[in-house]
Amino acid sequence: MEIEVPQDRKSTFEPQVVKKRQKDISDINQKIISMYAKGMTTRQISETIEDIYGFETSEGFISDVTDKILPQIEDWQNRPLDEVYPILYIDAIHYSVRDNGIIRKLAAYVILGINTEGKKEVLTINVGDNENSH
């Protein structure tokens, strides 16, 4: 995408999204990925970007950005694990999502392992139904 910066003889123009002489907007990509990772839909991300930055992005553009990280996710999922993790932490993050107009409670279950070198590794993250007392 070609970006044209208007002439500004007094240097008072300061772009808010793409800074002067900036060739890409990778920062916005990171923000999109962050919002996507938090469970926002492409429509919600598009609306949020318009609210914050004042420009429209299509849902297709949002999908293109999030699709770029799919190979990294697959690499992470297929990475070799150690045979032994002396310490394991198991926890869940609970959140609500709207699914066809119905709000559902879900949980992201996280298993964190401490390897034999003392380094932390996220072993898995699984999304499932929320825990209940039944």
Q: Please give the mean pLDDT across all residues of the chain.
A: 80
Amino acid 22: pLDDT: 57
**For residue range 24-37, what is the model confidence (pLDDT) as tens digits?**
555 788 888 888 87
| Choice between 101 and 131, residue whose per-residue pLDDT is larger | 101
pLDDT value, residue 84: 94
Instruction: Kindly tell me if the per-residue pLDDT of 87 is higher than 90.
Output: yes
The burial class, CB within 10 Å (0-12 / 13-18 / 19+), for 111 is middle
Per-residue pLDDT of 35-56, as tens digits, reads 887 778 888 888 888 888 777 8
| pLDDT attached to residue 83 | 93
Query: Alpha carbon of 134 to those of 13, 76, 96, 104: distances in Å?
Result: 60, 34, 19, 17
Region 115-122: mean pLDDT is: 94
| Confidence (pLDDT) at 1 | 64
For residue 129, give both structure tokens: 């139904």
- With a cut of 80, say whether residue 81 has pLDDT above it: yes
pLDDT(125) > 90: no
